[in-house]
């Protein structure tokens, strides 16, 4: 029973990956890619104290979906060009990231290493190695995978395999852009609006508000006026004591070459620090990022192991037998541009941008474990 109860953990532990966005270890059997070369290096540590942080000002009149004013569009286009260009993003066929996640709290740190495999065709796999002792094992190992070609999702933990239900598949795939959110923002139904000029770590920035298809406030992005690169994302969530100001700082940008073309590359922030009301709560440090290493479709298939009777994220006593139904029946999907969304996940999740996911009551809208607050 102890092992069976632990199968509700993946939904909550997924929160350790930070919101949004998202790096991964090398694909099995692939040759190591040349080390990324450092580019613009903006360390993501805010200078403001918690008391000095002003609340987010309300967004202005909402723009229509899939629209952008000229200044917002110019800032985003400059960012995409600085990050490598649309041709470089389009050349990505598969991607492997490996990164460390450190959760900071008054009682100490919680650490984990994540490996992520992605491939065109809505294929995503994540292997989690967490410093969470389970029984006589010093770490907790979790695997989650979704094969878009077969429309199947699976998880493996403590030797057991279970099919992922629609909501869990959505949580796995919804914010995994193999290229970049700003490559497909229009197709996914978002809108952009230039807000003002701002500053991050004494660097002048263009500030762009991003609105989701639902029309509610989503996030604010700060682009370096000199380099074009993204320096900060800012959004707000509801906490027990009122609104919480969330900031995700992007730094330590590195160039990663596209194999087979010496002129093409992407720039990616190998350091990402998340703050709540000025306090550092999460750090992500990328160890490796490989592009077009030849990841096989098979890596996204059902992992080896006996089947656990009960969909992950659900009460096995209430849902007895649904695992078999989920494995035999194709889940009903609806497709919104390049994002796949299972029915039942809520219309508000139809095309959310990285940074606002909810799994039951265990995870808040930033994708962070409530228990870790």
Decide which of 100 and 55 is more confident.
100
Q: Given pLDDT bands bounded at 50, 70 and 90, which one contains residue 118?
A: very high
Q: Which of 90-94, 346-350, 358-362 has the lowest mean pLDDT?
A: 358-362
Decide which of 65 and 93 is more confident.
93
Decide which of 20 and 371 is more confident.
20
Read off the DSSP letter of residue 213.
T
The whole-number average pLDDT for the span 65-72 is 95
Read off the DSSP letter of residue 216.
S
Q: Given pLDDT bands bounded at 50, 70 and 90, which one contains residue 86?
A: very high
Residues 6+ apart with CB under 8 A from 222: 198, 200, 205, 206, 207, 230, 231, 232, 233, 234
- Per-range mean pLDDT, top range of 35-44, 155-164, 305-314: 155-164
- CA neighbor of 82 nearest in space, from 261, 255, 209, 290: 255
Decide which of 244 and 47 is more confident.
244
pTM of the predicted protein model = 0.73
> What per-residue confidence (pLDDT) applies to 131?
87
Q: Please provide the size of the chain in residues.
A: 373
> What per-residue confidence (pLDDT) applies to 108?
86
Q: Quick check: 144 and 137 in contact, CB under 8 A?
A: no
> What per-residue confidence (pLDDT) applies to 251?
97
The whole-number average pLDDT for the span 317-327 is 50
DSSP letter string over 331-371?
Answer: PPEEEETTEEEETTS-GGGTTPPTT---BTTTB-TTS-BGG
Q: Is the pLDDT of residue 137 over 90?
A: no
Q: Quick check: 120 and 126 in contact, CB under 8 A?
A: no
Q: Which of 97-111, 314-328, 356-370 has the lowest mean pLDDT?
A: 356-370
Taking domain 2-372, whether its CATH number is 2.40.240.10 is answered by no
Find the angle CA(107)-CA(14)-CA(301) to the nearest 5 degrees: 150
168-192 pLDDT per residue, tens: 999 999 889 999 999 999 999 999 9
DSSP letter string over 280-328?
Answer: EEEEEEEEEEEES----GGGGSPPSSPBPSS-BTS-TTTSTTHHHHHHH
Q: Which of 23-32, 132-141, 304-313, 340-349 has the lowest mean pLDDT?
A: 23-32
234-285 pLDDT per residue, tens: 999 888 888 899 999 999 999 999 998 888 999 999 999 999 999 999 999 9
Task: State how far Cα 18 lies from the chain centre.
Answer: 7
> What per-residue confidence (pLDDT) applies to 93?
97
Q: Which of 15-29, 219-233, 268-282 has the lowest mean pLDDT?
A: 15-29
Q: Given pLDDT bands bounded at 50, 70 and 90, which one contains residue 310?
A: low
Q: Is the pLDDT of residue 352 over 90?
A: no
Q: Is the pLDDT of residue 105 over 50?
A: yes
Decide which of 123 and 158 is more confident.
123
The whole-number average pLDDT for the span 142-159 is 94
Strand partners, 341: 334
């Amino acid at each position: 029973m102890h092992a069976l109860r632990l199968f509700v953990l993946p939904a909550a532990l997924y929160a350790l990956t930070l919101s949004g966005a998202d790096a991964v270890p090398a694909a099995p059997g692939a040759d190591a890619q040349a080390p990324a070369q450092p580019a613009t290096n903006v360390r993501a540590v805010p200078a403001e104290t918690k008391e000095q942080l002003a609340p987010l000002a309300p967004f202005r009149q909402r723009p229509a979906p899939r629209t952008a004013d000229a200044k917002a569009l110019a800032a985003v286009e400059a960012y995409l060009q600085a990050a490598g260009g649309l041709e470089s993003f389009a050349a990505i066929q598969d991607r492997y990231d490996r990164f460390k996640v450190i959760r900071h709290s008054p009682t100490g740190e919680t650490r984990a290493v994540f490996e992520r495999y992605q491939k065109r065709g809505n294929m995503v796999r994540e292997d989690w190695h967490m410093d969470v002792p389970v029984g006589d094992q010093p770490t907790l190992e979790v695997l989650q995978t979704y094969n878009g070609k077969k429309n199947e999702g699976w998880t493996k933990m403590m030797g057991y395999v279970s099919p992922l239900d629609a909501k869990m598949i959505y949580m796995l795939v919804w914010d995994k852009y193999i290229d970049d959110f700003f490559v497909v923002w229009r197709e996914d139904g978002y809108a952009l609006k230039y807000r003002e000029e701002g500053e991050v770590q004494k660097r002048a920035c263009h500030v762009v508000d991003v609105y989701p298809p639902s029309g509610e406030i989503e996030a604010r992005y700060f682009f370096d006026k000199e380099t074009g690169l993204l320096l900060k994302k800012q959004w707000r969530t509801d906490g027990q004591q009122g609104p919480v100001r969330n900031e995700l700082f992007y730094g330590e940008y590195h160039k990663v070459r596209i194999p087979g073309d010496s002129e093409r590359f992407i720039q990616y922030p190998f350091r990402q620090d998340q703050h709540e009301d000025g306090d550092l709560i999460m750090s992500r440090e990328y160890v490796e990022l490989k592009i077009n290493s030849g990841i096989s479709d098979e890596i996204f298939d059902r992992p080896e192991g006996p089947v656990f009777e009960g969909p992950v994220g659900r009460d096995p006593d209430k849902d007895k037998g649904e695992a078999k139904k989920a494995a035999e029946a194709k889940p009903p999907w609806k497709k919104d541009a390049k994002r796949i969304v299972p029915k039942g996940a809520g219309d508000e999740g139809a095309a959310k941008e990285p940074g606002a996911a909810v799994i039951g009551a265990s995870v808040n809208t930033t994708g962070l474990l409530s228990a870790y607050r």
